[in-house]
Chains A and B, each alone.
Chain A
Amino acid sequence: MGYLEDIGTYFLMLKRTFSGFTKAGVLKELIFKEIDDLIIGSLGIVGFIGFFVGGVITLQTALNLTNPLIPKTLIGFATRQSIILEFAPTFISIIMAGKVGSFITSSIGSMRVTEQIDALEVMGINSLNYLVFPKIIAMLTYPFLIAIAMFLGIFGGLLAGVYGGFVSMDEFVQGIQQEFIPFHLAYAFIKTFVFAFILATVPSWHGYYMKGGALEVGKASTKSFVWTSVLIILANYIITQLLLSA
Chain B
Amino acid sequence: MIKVDNLKKQFGNEEILKGITTTFEKGKTNLIIGQSGSGKSVMLKCLIGLFKPEQGRIYYDDNAIQDMDEEQQRVLREEIGMLFQGGALFDSMTIEDNVMFPLRMFTKQKRAEMLERVNEVLNRVELDGVNKKYPAEISGGMQKRVSIARAIVNKPKYLFCDEPNSGLDPKTATVIDNLIQRITHENDITTIVVTHDMNSVMEIGERINFLKNGVLVWKGTQEDIFKTDNKDVTDFVYSSDLFKKIRDVQNKTN
List residues of A whose CB falls within 8 A of some B CB.
22-23, 26, 107, 110-111, 114-116, 118-119, 121-125
Contact = CB atoms under 8 A, between A and B. Distances in A.
Interface in B151-207: none
A116 B90 contact: yes
A125 B85 CA distance: 20
Given A116-B91, A119-B82, A122-B82, 12 more contacts: A22-B105, A23-B104, A26-B105, A107-B92, A114-B86, A115-B85, A116-B88, A118-B45, A118-B84, A118-B88, A124-B105, A125-B105
A111 B91 CA distance: 9
Contacts of A111: 90
B77 A123 contact: yes
Nearest to A25: B104
Interface string B76-95: 01101010111111111000
A24 B77 CA distance: 20
A125 B82 CA distance: 14
B102 interface: yes
Contact of B74 (A115, A116, A119, A124): A124
A121 B84 contact: no
B166 to A, nearest CB: 12
Interface residues of B, number: 24
A115 B77 contact: no
B77 A124 contact: yes
| Minimum-distance CB pairs A-B, first 5 | A124-B77, A115-B88, A119-B88, A115-B84, A122-B82
24 contacts: A23-B104, A26-B104, A107-B92, A111-B90, A115-B84, A115-B86, A116-B89, A116-B91, A118-B50, A118-B84, A118-B88, A119-B82, A119-B88, A122-B48, A122-B49, A122-B50, A122-B77, A122-B80, A123-B77, A123-B78, A123-B105, A123-B106, A124-B73, A124-B74
B76 to A, nearest CB: 8
Contacts of A26: 104-105
Interface string B94-121: 0000000110111000000000000000
Nearest to A116: B88
Contacts of B104: 23, 26
A160 B165 CA distance: 63
Contacts of B49: 122
Interface of B: 45, 48-50, 73-74, 77-78, 80, 82, 84-92, 101-102, 104-106
Contacts of B77: 122-124
A209 to B, nearest CB: 15
Contacts of B84: 115, 118-119
Contacts of A22: 105
B210 to A, nearest CB: 25
A124 B91 CA distance: 19
A119 B90 CA distance: 9
Determine which residue in A26, A107, A121 has the highest number of CB atoms from chain B within 10 A of its CB, and name it: A121
A26 B50 CA distance: 23
Contacts of A23: 104-105
Contacts of B82: 119, 122
A114 B87 CA distance: 8
B164 to A, nearest CB: 13
Contacts of A118: 45, 50, 84, 88
B84 to A, nearest CB: 4
A118 B151 CA distance: 13
Contacts of A124: 73-74, 77-78, 105
A159 to B, nearest CB: 40
A116 B92 CA distance: 11
A118 to B, nearest CB: 6
A228 to B, nearest CB: 22
Contacts of B88: 114-116, 118-119
Contacts of B105: 22-23, 26, 123-125
A22 B105 CA distance: 8
Nearest to B70: A20
A107 B90 CA distance: 11
